[in-house]
């Protein structure tokens, strides 16, 4: 396993490709996500972001890029779904993600657990593990830095109740993070074109994550079919 | 099976998604191509273009869209590789593609067979089968219309020795076809953005095919990683 500095260096200025397909989506299958990740590696990706122990274990077999692991799970008593409880953390850690990603919004987790308490538990049980904060707004980025996250992502901008009106990619938030936080920033969320990616990389972020525009053919198809419908042929 | 007119009506002004992964590519697997085609259908595609009897048979099980079938095979005595001989035609016809696509360039096929002779053999053995001409330049489109092809595609523009310098998508050829040929035109080749697709649909083509930009994550990743390298960070 690489040390923290080596690992961060490996993803510096790189594209990280998110390879996810949830239950009910046509590509939901560890077999397919492994191949998707391999395609991303062959296309020059510097890292992979993936969901669930099954997908991550599969991807590990085929690719040798740094892996950001998360585990989506829904609970009735909280809107937090990206690695919400220690149960998901434990199952994820069994497949050794290089970086553990988790919801780092201000919202309480299942069981009323605060982000502060959750980070304390992770640090206690898994000292030395790199952790990435999935945040939605500037205050959450500042708080994540105070809590000692190793990487801060804009992943959840647009996906919390109080940010759902922002336009993605959220260039303003990305720029604010890159200019004011000293923790490495991972730009993520709604990047669809090479032009957008270039503009984002030029803000000084550490790396960027693209998922849907590369690995979700249903959503890519929708973007094109919508453009035809707009013509009213 | 739909009649010719019903079938053409079903794909009129629609996006056809090409779902192909050749041997050696990370996604090469009928299981994955089936799911890719399902993703395209759920995303609003009006048709699927696919390669090989195995992929087509699989896709048929999961999707109920019109299917354009082709069968790529390489021969030593000809550069023609899209459904080059009657052997590929026979194997393809066993899985009943709604439309049979084939190289319709001026080049001789394996065994020195001309396009004219090849079309005659297909019409003799499979009367009533809809056939699509994969062409590379205007003269080939005119000839395909004379030969009675049911659909004419720009698929091979940029992929024959005498067109390899054209920039894709080949808007000029698409427009020339749409304005001058009475056979339904299928725009195909190098469409990467919704803007390009809109511009193409407005020329009056019957439908458009997009493959790489939707179903080849390795190439999509390459397009993004190349844009980062251009920044010289």
d(CA A102, CA A84): 7
pLDDT at B1: 63
Which parts of chain B register pLDDT below 70?
A: 1
First to last CA, chain A: 56
CB A182 within 8 A of CB A142: no
pLDDT at B59: 97
Per-residue pLDDT for A2 more than 80? no
* Chain A residue whose CA is closest to B193: A224
Whether residue A15 lies within 8 A of chain B, CB to CB, comes out as yes
Whether residue A61 lies within 8 A of chain B, CB to CB, comes out as no
Whether residue A26 lies within 8 A of chain B, CB to CB, comes out as yes
Which A positions 29-48 lie with beta carbon below 8 A of chain B? Answer: 29, 31-32, 35-36, 38-40, 42-45
Structural element, H or E, at residue A100 = strand A99-103
d(CA A21, CA A23): 7
pLDDT at B3: 86
The size of chain B, in residues, is 233
Provide the 8-state DSSP code for A163: G
d(CA A51, CA A109): 18
Q: Do B14 and A221 touch (CB under 8 A)?
A: no
pLDDT at A1: 63
**What is the pTM for the complete model shown?**
0.97
Residue A201's φ and ψ, nearest 5 degrees, are: -65, -30
Kindly report the CA angle at B12 between B9 and B13, in degrees rounded to 5? 160
Provide the 8-state DSSP code for A184: P
pLDDT at A19: 98
Please report residues of B whose CB lies closer than 8 A to that of A17.
217, 221
* Chain A residue whose CA is closest to B224: A194
CB B96 within 8 A of CB B71: no
Q: Do A214 and B221 touch (CB under 8 A)?
A: yes
Q: Please report, for chain A, the start and end positions of each structural domain, with discontinuous segments joined by +.
A: 4-229
Q: Do A35 and B29 touch (CB under 8 A)?
A: yes
Tell me the ipTM for this assembly.
0.98
The pLDDT tens digits of the residues spanning A104-128 come to: 999 999 999 999 999 999 999 999 9
d(CA B193, CA B174): 16
Q: How far is CA A135 from CA A19, A156, B10, in A?
A: 19, 5, 45
What are residue A99's DSSP bridge partners? A68, A130
In terms of CATH, what superfamily is A4-229?
A: Aldolase class I (3.20.20.70)
- 3-state SS of chain B? CCCHHHHHHHHCCCEEEEECCCCCCCCCCHHHHHHHHHHHHHCCCCEEEEECHHHHHHHHHHCCCCEEEECECCECCECCCECCCHHHHHHHHCCCCCEEEEECCCCCCHHHCCHHHHHHHHHHHCCCCEEEEECCCHHHHHHHHHCCCCEEECCCCCCCHHHCCCCCCCHHHHHHHHHHCCCCEEEECCCCCHHHHHHHHCCCCCEEEECHHHHCHHHHHHHHHHHHHCCCC
A42 burial (CB, 10 Å; 0-12 / 13-18 / 19+) is: middle
| Residue where the block lists tokens 């697709």 | B197
Please report residues of B whose CB lies closer than 8 A to that of A197.
224, 227-228
d(CA A169, CA A213): 12
Q: Do A26 and B17 touch (CB under 8 A)?
A: no
Return the closest-CA partner of residue A33 out of A15, A19, A54: A19
d(CA A222, CA A225): 5
pLDDT at A11: 98
Whether residue B195 lies within 8 A of chain A, CB to CB, comes out as yes
Return the closest-CA partner of residue A32 out of A55, A53, A52: A55
Neighbours of B91 (CB within 10 A): 16
CA–CA min distance A176, chain B (Å): 19
CA B189 to chain centre: 8
CA–CA min distance A170, chain B (Å): 18
pLDDT at A167: 98
d(CA B154, CA B134): 6
Whether residue B214 lies within 8 A of chain A, CB to CB, comes out as yes
Q: Which two tokens stand for residue A29?
A: 């299958």
| Residue where the block lists tokens 């067109």 | B163
How much is the mean pLDDT over chain A? Answer: 97
A77 burial (CB, 10 Å; 0-12 / 13-18 / 19+) is: exposed
- In percent, the amount of chain A with pLDDT more than 90 equals 99
Q: CB pairs under 8 A, 24+ apart, for A191-196?
A: A192/A223, A193/B193, A194/B223, A194/B224, A194/B226, A194/B227, A195/B227, A196/A169
Whether residue A17 lies within 8 A of chain B, CB to CB, comes out as yes
Interface with A, mutate which of B22, B28, B221 (most A CBs under 10 A)? B221
Please report residues of B whose CB lies closer than 8 A to that of A224.
15, 43, 194, 197, 210, 213-214
Return the closest-CA partner of residue B151 out of B121, B173, B131, B124: B131
d(CA A25, CA A8): 32
The pLDDT tens digits of the residues spanning A171-184 come to: 999 999 999 999 99
Radius of gyration of chain A (CA): 17
pLDDT at A3: 86
Q: Do A42 and B32 touch (CB under 8 A)?
A: no
The pLDDT tens digits of the residues spanning A114-164 come to: 999 999 999 999 999 999 999 999 999 999 999 999 999 999 999 999 999
């Amino acid at each position: 396993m690489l040390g923290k500095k080596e690992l961060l260096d490996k993803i510096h200025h790189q594209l990280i490709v998110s390879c996810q397909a949830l239950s009910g989506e046509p590509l939901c299958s560890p077999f397919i996500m492994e191949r998707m990740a391999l395609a991303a590696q062959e296309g020059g990706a510097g890292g992979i972001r993936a969901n669930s122990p099954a997908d991550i274990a599969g991807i590990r077999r085929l690719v040798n890029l740094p892996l950001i692991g998360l585990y989506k799970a829904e609970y009735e008593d909280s809107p937090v779904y990206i690695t919400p409880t220690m149960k998901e953390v434990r199952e994820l850690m069994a497949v050794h993600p290089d970086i553990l990603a988790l919801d780092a919004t201000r919202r309480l987790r299942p069981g009323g657990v605060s982000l502060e308490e959750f980070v304390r538990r992770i640090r206690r049980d898994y000292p030395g593990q790199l952790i990435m904060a999935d945040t939605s707004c500037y205050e959450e980025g500042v708080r994540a830095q105070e809590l000692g996250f190793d990487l801060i992502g804009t992943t959840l901008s647009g996906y919390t109740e109080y940010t759902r009106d922002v336009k993605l990619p959220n260039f303003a938030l990305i720029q604010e993070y890159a200019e004011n936080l000293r923790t490495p920033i991972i730009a993520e969320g709604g990047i669809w074109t090479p032009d957008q990616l270039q503009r984002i990389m030029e803000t000084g972020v550490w790396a960027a994550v693209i998922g849907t525009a590369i690995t979700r053919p249903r959503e890519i198809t929708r973007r094109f079919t919508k453009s035809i419908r707009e013509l009213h042929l």
